[in-house]
Amino acid sequence: MIAERGLRRKMWIAFAMQVIAIGLATVFGVYGATMVLKDVLIKHALQQEAGWFWQRHSDDPEHHIPDTFNMMGYLVPQGASETTVPEPLRGLAAGYHSMPEAMGGSLVYVDDAPKGKLLLVFKQTQVNKLAFWFGAVPLSFVLIVIYAIAWLTYRSSHRAISPLIWLANQVQQWDPKRPDATALNAENLPVDVQGEALVLASSLHEFASRIDAFVQRERNFTRDASHELRTPMTVIRMAGDLLLADPSLTPHAERTVQRIQSSVGDMESLVEAFLIMARDGDVGLPDEDFVVNEVIHDEIENARALLGRKPVELKIDEAAAFALHAPPRVFGVLFGNLLRNACNYTDAGSVIVHVQPGRIVIEDTGVGMDDEELAHVFEAFYRGGERRQGGHGIGLSIVRRLSERFGWPVSLDSEAGKGTRATVLFPKARPLDA
């Protein structure tokens, strides 16, 4: 791309166009001057010669007809025959006539006056020679000087921008995820990298070094957070399982432990989502082929605890089965947030998950949203009116960011008091029977 549209190519084209334009202007200028000399000045001189001859002829009828090295004259008295005129010139009308090259290429001026007919034959050979020595030769010299100056200017400009081209080539080779600025170290710079190019190289080196440090800190954070945050949550969840297995646990204590378990599940999903989004480009999870329906069943089982004793039916309508090539955990986080959102805001009725070819639809009979709330629902930390109790206001924001990163469009349709319908499309879904 740099070779096709870079500064070097643009500069070369600019100088080439400049040289061509100057050359054409010079050629046409000299050619125009030659034409003026031959077609204007000579014709005017012949006309003046004819006028001068007739003036002298009036004073002295025996005045000699013009006969010089470049011009020959012929006089045909009024009413006389043109036998004294060379045959090619006989019968020519008044005015200017250019003879063929085979006949010398002369320019003939015929002046038909009352006293007779005067023919002036001007040999253009000498004019052509003069045009060559005073036109073509200076033109060639001027063009050589212009081309030499243009070439030297091009070389000078090329040397001036060479450091910038070198910098562009180095930056082009960088890995966007982790740019290697080793080539921009002060000891590795070419000797012609000076002035503004040196300032730019130093700035790019510092910038790339900072990016590398940021990437390293991000990786360290996601690695440490993944371990340090998951470990205590796993301990809490396992302790809750042990408490729920205790037959002596009172109903009130059991409900308290279940709420703890539910909160731990939310925290695990939240931490997983944050860790995925904290990674730039690479989510840190391997892409693999997985069946979407299997992950949906697992998330539905995890979400049943959110309903508790609410009169809500949670079920799945599997009209199709398809697979994706992506990190399964990312899909689980996106779908789980939508499903938990539906369960949290549905106090009675049903939450139905429809699995259709290439898409998933989650319908609930919850509190729903009006148009104003629906317009802001994907904004971080946005929570609707008094009907929106609980939650952190970031679940749907996480859904939107994951959908944009992985190309899974999400849309919501809702009506206050009647429920919400969430639709997720998967353009690269692969049917299981394919």
Angle at CA of residue 402, ends 383 and 354, nearest 5° = 80
Does residue 321 contact residue 355 with C-beta atoms inside 8 Å? yes
- C-alpha 343/C-alpha 363 separation (Å) is 10
Does residue 311 contact residue 401 with C-beta atoms inside 8 Å? no
Give the strands of the sheet with 288-291, arranged side by side: 288-291, 322-326, 430-431
pLDDT at 91: 85
pTM exceeding 0.75: no
Strand partners, 119: 74, 110
Mean per-residue pLDDT over the chain, rounded: 80
Angle of the 251-278 helix axis to the 292-307 helix axis, nearest 10: 140
Q: 131-149 pLDDT, tens per residue?
A: 666 666 777 787 788 778 8
Confidence tier at 323 by pLDDT (50, 70, 90): very high
pLDDT at 312: 92
pLDDT at 198: 77
Does residue 74 contact residue 65 with C-beta atoms inside 8 Å? yes
Alpha carbon of residue 68 to chain centroid: 72
Confidence tier at 7 by pLDDT (50, 70, 90): low
- Do the strands 349-356 and 312-318 form a parallel or antiparallel pair, or are they unpaired? parallel
Confidence tier at 409 by pLDDT (50, 70, 90): very high
Q: Which of 283, 131, 302 is nearest to 218 (CA)?
A: 283
pLDDT at 383: 62
- Domain residues of the chain, as ranges? 2-133, 175-282, 285-431
DSSP 8-class letter at 350: E
- Over residues 83-109, the mean pLDDT reads 81
Pick the CATH number of 285-431 from 3.40.50.720, 3.10.580.10, 1.10.357.10, 3.30.565.10: 3.30.565.10
Angle of the 251-278 helix axis to the 196-244 helix axis, nearest 10: 160
Residue 76 backbone phi and psi in degrees, to 5: -115, 105
